[in-house]
Chains A and B, each alone.
Chain A
C-alpha cells in the first residue's frame, strides 16, 4: 500500500477515528485504525465493537492495499505536522511497519494484520430515510443534556429516537431523561420513516454523530433496524448498535394539567440563577423560586456562607408559589432556549414542572423540583 493524502483531510479522518477508539483496550487491535486504499480514495475505519465509523477520504493511491495502525499515535503525529503538508503512508506488507512521511519527518509505526480487524456485521435496515443535518442536529443537541450517566439504568444512557404522534401529525421524536429531568424534541417525520422502530442511541454515538452534522447543506441518510442505527454522509458512515432495553413510558410523566404559567427571558433567567447560586458551595445547589404577580425572586440560602436573592420581571398571573430546583438543572434547560422566552408551567412544589420555548410545542422539557 502506498498513498498520498493532504494533511487536513487526514487529520479530519483521524480525529473521527480516534473519537471512536477507546483510550484503553484489552484487545490490541481495537486501538488501531484500519486503512484501506483503493481506487482514488482511502477509507479509515475504527471501532470499539459497538460503534464503527468509516471515513472515505480523497487520496492519491499509488498502490492499493490495507493495514492497521495505532489510531491515537497516528492522530497525534498528523496533528503535529505543519498545515498544508502532504503525508505519504506506505506499507510493504512484510515488515509489519507503516511508514509515515511528511516533509522531512519520517515515522515508522508498528502495524497489526488487517485480517484481525473486526468489521461490524451488516444488517437489514427496516427504515431508511434522509434528514437535513440541521434538523438532526437540533433533535439530538437539545435532548442530550438529559441523558443519564447512571450505568445501572443503561436504558436511559442514550437518546430515544422514534416516531410519535405530535400535535400536528406524525413526528420524528428524540427523548432523553435521567430520572430528574426530561427533554422531548419533535420534528416532522421525514418520508420513508413511517416504519421507524424506536431505538435508544447510546451517548457515545450521539457524541460521534454530532461530528457529522456541522455542515448545514448535507443530507444525512439514516437507517434504522431493531439492533442498529446508521448515519451517513457521502463521505462518512457511522454505524452503531443501539441500547438493548426498553425506554420507559415517558409520556406519562409529562404533566398535562400544569396551569401556573410563567414567562421569562431565558438568558436573563439563566444569568440570574447562575449569579445567586454562587453563594452556595454545596454539590447540589438549591435555588428557590418565589413567584408572585409578575415578579420572580430567585434565592439561595447557605447559612454558613451567605444568602443571595435576585428579582426578575416575569409574566405571571397566578397565585403565589414557592418551589425549589437544582440550579444546574435550571441552567441546563434554560440554555436550550435559543430565541424565544422560556415558558414555565408549574403545578405544586412537589410536582413536575414543564418548560417550553415560547409557544413552540415541538420542544418540551420537564424538570423535577427539589425539596429543601
Chain B
C-alpha cells in the first residue's frame, strides 16, 4: 500500500475556517452573478417590505451602479448592521423552511452584495423619526448615521464585482446586462400588478424605460392590465384567460391564441407563488398543450401563474431561487396542459386580431400590392398555377362573386338563415373557388375552405382514434435497444401510456429494452429512433408527446387528402354546412399547422376603410 498518487503532496495543508469576507464572497458568487441578480434581490426585498412603488435605476448596464428604492416599511436603525450580516433575516424565524411566504428568506442578499460591491443603504423605518444611512465597502461598514429620507429604503450597489475582478471579466456587454436588468424588472412587475414599477437608465441623462402604475381592480383585471403594459396590448387582445385547479395547485394567467405565436420560445413566463422561475417543464407543457394547433417551429406566448401551499413546492433549490421543485411535477404539468387545452378549445373560434389587422392593412390604399397576409402564397387554386397580373380583376368581372349560387337556384338567403344567431354567419359567396365569404351580424367572415375542412377532417380522425384506440403491429423481430438504467426506469414509468399508443416494451437485461410492437398506423417505423426521440423529450421536458405527435402527423396528412381542395366550387348549402360544422368544432379556428382558417372583419373596420367613421 505504498503506492501514492502523485497529486498528493507530502506537506499537508491545515484545514482552517475561512474568514467571513471570504465566505460572503463565495456566497455572492452563487446569489449575485450579474447586476441583474442584484436588482432581482433588491426588488424582492422591496416587495417583501410591502412597497407599493419600486423605482429602479442603473447606469452602464448596472456595472457602474444599480439603485432600487421603495416606499416600504424600512429598516429600524438599530437593526441595520445586523441586516448586513449573513443569514440574518426578518422574513423567517428558521423553524420552518418549508413554509415560506416571502420572496427572500436565506438572508444572503445584502451581505453578498456588500462583499462584492460598494453598498450603501438609506432607510427610514416607519416608526422612526429620522432616516439612517449605512454603507459597506469591502466588508468594512460605516454608520449608521442619520440622513434625510421620507420613507422606505434605497439601496445603491456601485462598482459591482470590484472586489472580485475575476467575475467582472465574465460580465457581458453593457447592452446585454441592461437587457437582463430590464428582463428581471419586467418579470417581477408581471407578478406584482399591485405594485408600481419604474425603470430608468441613467447612463447619460435619465431615460425612462418602464413606468407602470399600480393596477386597479380585481386580480384578473389588474393582471391583464399589467400584462398588457409589459407584453404589449397585442398580447392581451390575442390571449385567453386561463383558470384551472387541481390537487391543491391553482393555475391562472394568460396564454396567446395559436394564431398569435413567436418564432422562438422567448415570451413564456412562469410564476410560482408570485416568484418568476425558469423551468424546462413549462416549455414542455406548452408544447404539449399547443401540439395540435401550432406547427413545431412556432412557439406560444404565455404568462402563467401557479399558486399552491408553500409546502407543495421547494423554492430552496437554487440560491437565486430561479428554479423550483414541485412535490409532484406531474400534477403541475398536467394542470398546465389540461388547463391550456380546455381554454384553447373554448377559444378555438377566435382568430387573432393581428390577422384581421393584417388583412385590413393589406387593404390600405397606400400599399395595394401587399399580399393578403400568408394564405395566397400557399394555396393557389388548382389550374391557376401562375396567377397573371389582372387575373383577379378578370375573375371579378367574370362574375363568380355575384354567384352566391343564384345559378344553383335552391338557395334563398332569407330562408331562416339569419346571421344573428350564427357566429360564422351565413355564406354569401365563394371567391376564387377557395374563399367563402359569410355575413355575420356585425361584419363579415372570410373562410379558407381547404384549411377549414382539413381541420374538421383531422378532428374527426383524432376523435375516432381516441375512441378506438391505436392498433399495434406486433414485430416479427423485436427491436432490442440499448439504453441506460435511468432511461429504462423513465420508459417503464410511462409504459402504460406507450402501450395505449401501440408501443409495447419491456426490460431486456440490464441495459436494454425490447420493443415488441409499434403503432400500426405508422407502418414500418424505426423503433430505435422513436425510442431515442421519446427519451430525449423525457429528459428535456419531463414528458413525451413524440409518439402522439407522429400519429397526429399521419392523421394530418390523411386529412389533407381527405378534405375539400382549393379550387372546388361549392354550393351555398355546402358552404353553410361547412360553417355550421366549424361552429360545432372547438378547434376549427386554425388549421393543423396553426394557420388561421378564417378571418373575421368587423363592420366598423370595413367602414373605416371607406372613411365612414
A interface list, Cβ under 8 A from B: 148-150, 152-153, 177-182, 248, 250, 253, 281-284, 286, 303-304, 324, 326, 350, 352, 366, 368-372
Contact = CB atoms under 8 A, between A and B. Distances in A.
Interface stretch (B46-54, B201-209, B460-468): B460-468
Contacts of B517: 371
Interface string B501-517: 01000000000000001
B471 interface: yes
A367 to B, nearest CB: 8
Given A283-B523, A283-B554, A286-B520, A368 B473 contact: yes
Contacts of B529: 152
Nearest to B562: A281
Interface string B477-490: 10100000000000
Nearest to A352: B476
Nearest to B519: A284
Contacts of A283: 521, 523, 554, 558
B464 A304 contact: yes
Given A152-B526, A303-B464, A284 B473 contact: yes
B532 to A, nearest CB: 11
Contact of B476 (A152, A253, A326, A371): A253
Contacts of B520: 284, 286, 326, 370
Interface residues of B, number: 26
Given A284-B520, A303-B464, A370 B477 contact: no
B402 to A, nearest CB: 37
16 contacts: A149-B524, A177-B477, A179-B475, A179-B477, A180-B473, A180-B524, A253-B477, A284-B521, A326-B473, A352-B476, A368-B473, A368-B476, A370-B472, A370-B474, A371-B502, A371-B517
Contacts of A179: 475-477, 479, 524
Nearest to A248: B477
B322 interface: no
A149 B524 CA distance: 8
Nearest to B520: A284
B528 interface: yes
A371 B464 contact: no
B471 A370 contact: yes
Nearest to B524: A150
Contact of A370 (B467, B473, B554): B473
B331 interface: no
Contacts of A324: 471
A282 B476 CA distance: 22
Nearest to B554: A283
A304 B476 contact: no
Contacts of B396: none
A177 B521 contact: no
A161 B41 CA distance: 72
B463 to A, nearest CB: 9
B525 interface: yes
A227 B521 CA distance: 36
B526 A372 contact: no
Contacts of A350: 474
B149 to A, nearest CB: 70
A144 to B, nearest CB: 15
Interface string B441-471: 0000000000000000000100010011101
A152 B531 CA distance: 14
Contacts of A180: 473, 475-476, 524
Contact of A150 (B472, B477, B525, B558): B525
Contacts of B474: 350, 368-371
Contacts of B524: 148-150, 178-180
A366 B471 contact: no
Most buried by B among A149, A181, A248, A283: A283
Contacts of A282: 521
Given A180-B476, A181-B476, A283-B554, A153 B526 contact: yes
Contacts of B558: 283
A366 B477 CA distance: 11
Contacts of B468: 303, 372
A198 B558 CA distance: 40
Most buried by B among A326, A352, A371: A371
Contacts of A284: 471, 473, 520-521, 523
B428 to A, nearest CB: 32
A32 B96 CA distance: 81
Interface string B531-574: 00000000000000000000000100010001000000000000
Nearest to A254: B476
Contacts of B479: 179
Contact of B467 (A148, A182, A303): A303
Contacts of B472: 370-371
A351 B208 CA distance: 73
A283 B465 CA distance: 12
A371 B501 CA distance: 11
A352 B524 CA distance: 17
Nearest to B460: A304
Contacts of A369: 474
Contacts of A303: 464, 467-468
Contacts of B475: 179-180, 368
Contacts of A366: 476
Contacts of A149: 524
A368 B523 CA distance: 13
A150 B526 contact: yes
A369 B467 CA distance: 21
Contacts of B467: 303
Contacts of B473: 180, 284, 326, 368, 370-371
Contacts of B477: 177, 179, 248, 250, 253
A371 B526 contact: no
B556 to A, nearest CB: 12
